[in-house]
Amino acid sequence: SQQGEEDPQALSIQEGENATMNCSYKTSINNLQWYRQNSGRGLVHLILIRSNEREKHSGRLRVTLDTSKKSSSLLITASRAADTASYFCATAFNSKLTFGKGITLSVRP
Amino acid sequence: DAGITQSPRHKVTETGTPVTLRCHQTENHRYMYWYRQDPGHGLRLIHYSYGVKDTDKGEVSDGYSVSRSKTEDFLLTLESATSSQTSVYFCAISEEAGKGYTFGSGTRLTVV
C-alpha cells in the first residue's frame, strides 16, 4: 500500500501560531494532495502538488514535497480557530487517491 | 457540497439486508469514487468508476458492488449488510484522473 502516513496524529496550538503537519509515503506518486475535514462533514480539497514540484503556496497554506525522501509537509501560517479540523494527505497514482489516517488540529482561541 | 449529493444521509439497517447508497453529481465529471471512513483507518477506497458502465475495485471491495448507468449517478450496494460495514460512506467526484476530488457530505450507515 502507498498509504500516506501523517505526523503528528494530533496537534494543539494557540491561535496565531503556525501549524506544521507532515506526511510520508512509500511508493511512486503522480501528485500529492492535502484535504481538510471538519467534524461530521465531507473532505475539502486544499492543495495539490505535482511530483516535479518542490513547493506550492495557496493563501496561508504552504506545501513542500521531497520525492527523494517520499515526504511532504503542510504549513498553515497564522492559524485561526476556524482551522480546527482533521487534515489528510493523499497520494495520487493510476487514477486513484490513497489517503492517510489524518491529523487532528486544534487551534485554541 | 455543491454539485454532489449523497442519499440517504443516515440509515440504520439489519444484518443480512441489502442496502443501496446513491451518489448524484451535476458536474458531469468522468470519475466517481466510493470510500468508507472508519476510526483508525482513515479513508479506504471501495470502488470507483471512470465512465458510464466502467468500474473497478478498490482496496476494500469485498461485500460491495457498484453500478453506473449514467454519468450523474453512482450507486453502492451492500448485497447482505454485516456489522463490519457500519461506517461513514463518502462519494467523491473528479474531472480528471489524479486531480482534486470533490466530496459529498457522507452517509452514516449503521448495521444492527
Query: What does the pLDDT look like over A58-81, one tens digit per residue?
Result: 999 999 999 999 999 999 999 999
Instruction: Tell me the domain boundaries of chain A.
Output: 5-108
Are B104 and A101 in contact (CB < 8 Å)? no
Alpha-carbon distances, residue B8 vs A38, A56, B13, B82, B103 (angstroms): 20, 38, 12, 18, 15
pLDDT for B40-96, tens place per residue? 888 999 999 999 999 999 999 999 999 999 999 999 999 999 999 999 999 999 999
CATH of the domain at B105: 2.60.40.10
Structural domain boundaries, residue B86? 4-111
Nearest to A26 by CA among A45, A41, A5, A57: A5
> What are residue A32's DSSP bridge partners?
A49, A91
| CATH code linked to domain A5-108 | 2.60.40.10
Which regions in chain A score pLDDT beneath 50? 1-2
Look at residue B64 in the predicted model and tell me its pLDDT. Answer: 98
- Number of folded domains that form chain B: 1
Asked if residue B39 has a cis previous peptide bond (ω within 30° of 0), the answer is: no
Cβ neighbors of B31 (< 8 A, separation 6 or more) are A95, B48, B49, B50, B93, B94, B95, B96, B97
Confidence of residue B2 (pLDDT cuts 50, 70, 90): low
Look at residue B98 in the predicted model and tell me its pLDDT. Answer: 84
Nearest to A75 by CA among A19, A37, A34: A19
Interface of A with B (CB under 8 A): 1, 3, 30-31, 33, 35, 41-45, 48, 88, 92-102
What is the grid cell recorded at B4? Answer: 454532489
Are B48 and A43 in contact (CB < 8 Å)? no
Which of residues 56 through 75 in chain B touch A, CB cutoff 8 A? 58-59
